Amino acid sequence: SPGIIEHDEL
């Protein structure tokens, strides 16, 4: 969703 930065790495 916009505004949320997704950190999908470890």
Partner 1 sequence: MNIFRLAGDMTHLMSVLVLLLKIHTIKSCAGISLKTQELYALVFATRYLDIFTDFISVYNTIMKLIFLGSSFSIVWYMRRHKLVRRSYDKEQDTFRHFFLVLPCLLLALVMNEKFTFKEVMWAFSLYLEAVAILPQLVLLQRTKNIDNLTGQYVFLLGAYRAFYIFNWIYRYFTEPHYVHWITWISGLVQTLLYADFFYYYFNSWKNNVKLHLPA
Q: CB 1 → partner 1: shortest distance, Å?
A: 11
DSSP E strands, the chain = none
Half-sphere exposure for 10 (CA within 13 Å, toward CB):
0
- Interaction of residue 2 with partner 1, rule CB under 8 A: no
- Interaction of residue 10 with partner 1, rule CB under 8 A: yes
Gap between the Cα atoms of 2 and 10, Å rounded = 21
Q: CB 5 → partner 1: shortest distance, Å?
A: 5
- Interaction of residue 1 with partner 1, rule CB under 8 A: no
What residues line the site for partner 1 (CB under 8 A)? 4-10
